[in-house]
Amino acid sequence: MINALTVEAKNSPEFLERLLRVCRHRGFTIQSINAEVNNTQHTTQINLTVCSERDISLLTKQIDKVVGVIGLTLLQQPENIKASA
């Protein structure tokens, strides 16, 4: 299944690395990603789509635990998008 997420975090040089590691380690492949820094609010907003057979909650709960995460939004529920072959 493919899911789209938006993650907002405090800006730090290694945050993206932390996020990517969590995705890979928990069994989710990144299909697309876009990161944008907000220098006024010192935050980073990352939009990504991930693919996995695992339930998306296994990833979102782990991302929630990453220090610096301010918010996480699951944009589309698993049943809405099917992974292409």
Q: Does 65 bind another protein (CB under 8 A)?
A: yes
Alpha carbon 7 to chain centroid distance? Answer: 6
Tell me, what amino acid is at 10?
Answer: K
Distance CA 74, CA 5 (A): 5
The whole-angstrom separation of Cα 29 and Cα 47 is 14
18 lies in the binding site for another protein (CB under 8 A) = yes
Span from 34-42, 45-53, 58-66, 69-77 in contact with another protein (CB under 8 A): 58-66
39 touching another protein, by CB under 8 A: no
Among residues 29, 57, 73, 80, the one that binds another protein under rule CB under 8 A: 57
